């Protein structure tokens, strides 16, 4: 398989909604395999298709390396055409990172658990409940599919502004090397 190039903010694709997947074929399976190879290469635990230039409603997740996680571990997941059908009333906060915002983290408050409905790479529908880090990762990647980026979830205007400026600077530096 191959490693796909990361799309870095402020690339406009990160602020666009992704298209629904309608065809479940070998090409889709290859794209998903390339996404997993890319996510592992860049040392992420989640990756939305738009972060590697694929404008489809797909995201992947693998949190097997987190020993404290009790929800959705020991398996990698691919979510196609996902719908979050229920959010918990209880909130939690995690310090989130994002492959499209290199070297940056932000504390973000999100619902502690979610119920997600999605298709797998064969088009079969599933429903899963996720808690803790898994729920946070799902919500973060789901945001990407809807054109919502990490700074959009930051409460502080100053922090948001600083994140955007730093992302622009990092992208420019990487383009010049």
> pLDDT tens digits for 67-115?
555 566 567 999 999 999 999 999 999 999 999 999 999 999 999 999 9
Whether the Cβ atoms of residue 86 and residue 114 lie closer than 8 Å to each other: yes
Selected residue with higher pLDDT from 138 and 70: 138
Establish whether 141 is a catalytic residue: yes
Q: Where are the domains of the chain?
A: 12-175
Contacts of 113 (CB under 8 A, 6+ apart): 71, 87, 88, 90, 129, 130, 131, 132, 135
pLDDT of residue 118: 99
Mean pLDDT, the chain, integer? 93
pLDDT of residue 160: 83
pLDDT for residue 66 is more than 90: no
CA angle 66, 128, 2 (to 5 degrees): 60
Terminal Cα distance for the chain, rounded: 25
pLDDT of residue 71: 60
> pLDDT tens digits for 8-64?
999 999 999 999 999 999 999 999 999 999 999 999 999 999 999 999 999 999 987
How far is the C-alpha of 98 from the C-alpha of 165, rounded, in Å? Answer: 15
Other CB atoms within 10 A of residue 138 CB:
26
Superfamily of domain 12-175: Peptide deformylase (3.90.45.10)
The verdict on pTM exceeding 0.85 is: yes
How far is the C-alpha of 68 from the C-alpha of 112, rounded, in Å? Answer: 15
Annotated binding site for Fe cation: 98, 140, 144
pLDDT of residue 156: 78
**The one catalytic residue among 69, 96, 141, 173:** 141
Annotated binding site: 98, 140, 144
pLDDT for residue 4 is more than 80: yes
Whether the Cβ atoms of residue 43 and residue 136 lie closer than 8 Å to each other: no
CA angle 145, 149, 153 (to 5 degrees): 120
> pLDDT tens digits for 156-165?
777 888 989 9
pLDDT of residue 65: 59
């Amino acid at each position: 398989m191959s490693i796909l190039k990361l799309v870095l903010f402020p690339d406009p694709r990160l602020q666009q909604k992704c298209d629904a997947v309608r065809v479940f074929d070998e090409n889709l399976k290859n794209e998903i395999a390339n996404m997993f190879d890319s996510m592992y290469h860049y040392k992420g635990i989640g990756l939305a298709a738009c972060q590697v230039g694929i404008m489809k409603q797909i995201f992947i997740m693998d949190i097997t390396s987190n020993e404290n996680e009790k929800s959705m571990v020991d398996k990698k997941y691919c979510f196609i055409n996902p719908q979050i059908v229920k959010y918990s009333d209880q909130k939690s906060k995690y310090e989130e990172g994002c492959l499209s915002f290199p070297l940056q983290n932000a504390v973000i408050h999100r619902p502690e658990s979610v119920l997600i409905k999605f298709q797998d790479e064969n088009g079969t529908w599933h429903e899963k409940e996720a808690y803790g880090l898994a729920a946070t990762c799902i919500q973060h990647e789901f945001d990407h599919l809807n054109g919502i980026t990490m700074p959009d979830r930051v409460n502080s205007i100053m922090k948001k502004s600083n994140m955007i400026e730093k992302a622009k600077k990092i992208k420019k530096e990487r383009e010049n090397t």
